[in-house]
Amino acid sequence: MKALVTGGAGFIGSGVVRLLLENGASVRVLDNFSTGWRENLAGLDVDLIDGDVRDRARIADWVDGVDTVFHLAACIGNVKSLGDPWVDSEINVLGTVNLLEAARKAGVKKLVYSSSAATFGELKTMPIAESHPQEPDSPYGVSKLAAEKHCLCFGRIYGMTVVCLRYFNVYGINQRFDAYGNVIPIFAQRLHSVEPLLIYGDGEQTRDFVNVRDVARANWLAATRARASGVYNIGSGESITINLLADLVQKASGLNACAVRRVAPRPGEVRHCKADITSARRDLGFSPDADIYSGLVEYFRWFGASRRQ
């Protein structure tokens, strides 16, 4: 396999890159390092390009010679998108269309697109299947849904196999603190800084947390086992409350317990979230590890070591 991984220096992208290399693939990484880290690719044998998926003048060269594209480059986050919806759509929608057009012209055979459970909006059924109505509650969810539809459209028109993976709450090594990001690194940062853990609302909202190792494997399975275009939920298939998560991170971290402070709920966030991963199990052979506590222990070891570097 000759692969291009957009956003390959990012938290999830670097996990995909490592797994591709372990399986003998030749890997080209495209990243503008707005959120990616060069350290995530340290020691890896990749063709690294400092570039942006929005660059129409150069993207044809970056896609040339590859047979499989893993598209992870994105502006990520519900809250961030509320602050700047224009940039969110420029990167997530127009950047994706730019990449798709270049991939089509280059004769790329397969594209694996990193989508998001944010495309669903508020949960209407439990668990949430791929057929669940998509009514996103944030500009980010809208942009990921639009990009997903563009990918599937290109696949139908031009005969490219396109697999869209709708990630639920991904966590794990290489996930650094970002005030707009996932709750787990935010909790980790506050624990290490001996600051209260902030819980929005009553804390009984639920999330499906899936380890980045499982997400990387889902990308590999989508590229190697999917026989037709399609959409798959990628989660653990389990959900926990944020209140329980706050307890688990304090135990897994090995740090002194911190206070918990409750603040007003944030707009644009769903109340409950849990993935139905039946289709991914059946079609891709996807079998995630739902043991979040062990994953958190591993993550806190990495997080603590990364702070000391």
Angle 239-229-70 from CA coordinates, rounded to 5°: 75
Biggest alpha carbon–alpha carbon distance for the chain = 56
Query: What are the Cα distances from residue 159, in Å, to 37, 74, 103, 224?
Result: 34, 24, 12, 17
- In this prediction, residues 216-229 reach a mean pLDDT of 97
The Cα 275–Cα 170 span in angstroms is 12
Model confidence at 194: pLDDT above 70: yes
Give domain status of residue 113, yes or no: yes
Same domain, 189 and 63: no
When comparing pLDDT for 303 and 79, which is higher?
Answer: 303
In the DSSP assignment, the letter for residue 258 is -
CATH of the domain at 269: 3.90.25.10
Q: Are residues 82 and 28 both part of a single domain?
A: yes
Looking at the chain, the whole-number percentage of residues with pLDDT higher than 70 is 98
The residue range of the domain holding 115 is: 2-171+210-237+274-289
8-state DSSP, 257: P
Looking at the structure, tell me whether residues 103 and 187 fall in a common domain. Answer: no
Q: Are residues 144 and 196 in the same domain?
A: no
| Same-domain check for residues 147 and 247 | no
Percent of the chain residues past pLDDT 90, beyond the cut: 84
What is the model's pLDDT at position 68?
Answer: 98
Same domain, 257 and 304: yes
Q: What's the pLDDT band for 80 if we cut at 50, 70, 90?
A: confident
Structural domain contains residue 148: yes
Question: What is the pTM (predicted TM-score) of this model?
Answer: 0.94
| pLDDT of res. 271 | 86
Instruction: Give me the pLDDT at residue 72, please.
Output: 98
Task: Quote the pLDDT of residue 243.
Answer: 97
- Residue 144's pLDDT is 97
- Domain with 113 in it: what CATH number? 3.40.50.720
Q: What DSSP assignment string belongs to 173-232?
A: TT----TTS-HHHHHHHHHHTT-PEEEETTS--EE-EEEHHHHHHHHHHHHHH--S-EEE
Same domain, 139 and 195: no
* pLDDT tens track for 261-270: 999 988 767 7
Please give the Cα distance from 288 to 236 (Å, whole number): 6
Active site residues: 140
How far is 147 from 129, CA to CA, in rounded Å?
A: 19
User: In degrees rounded to 5, what are phi and psi of residue 164?
Assistant: -100, 125
